[in-house]
Amino acid sequence: MARLPRLVVPHQPHHIIQSGIDGLTVFRDPEDHQAFLRWLREAARHFGVAVHAYVLMPDHLHLLATPQDEAGLGKMMQWIGRKYVPYFNARYGRSGTLWKSRYKATVIESDRYFLLCSRYIESKPVMDGLVAAPQDYAWSSFVHHAGGRPDPVITDHALFWALGNTPFDREAAYRHLMEQLPGQDDVRMLNEATRKGWALGSSSFKALLNKQLGRRVDPAPRGRPRGDPGSSPPPAAPKYAE
What residues contact 211, with CB distance under 8 A and at least 6 apart? none
Q: Are strands 49-56 and 60-67 parallel, antiparallel or unpaired?
A: antiparallel
CA atoms within 13 A on the CB side of 199: 24
Per-residue pLDDT reduced to its tens digit, 19-58: 999 999 999 999 999 999 999 999 999 999 999 999 999 9
Per-residue pLDDT reduced to its tens digit, 169-216: 999 999 999 999 999 999 999 999 999 999 999 999 999 998 888 888
Class for the domain spanning 14-117+151-156+179-213: alpha beta
Q: How many CB atoms lie within 10 A of CB 223?
A: 12
Domain chopping of the chain, boundaries: 14-117+151-156+179-213
Taking the whole predicted model, whether its pTM rises above 0.85 is answered as: yes
Measured CA to CA, the distance from residue 19 to residue 15 in angstroms comes to 14
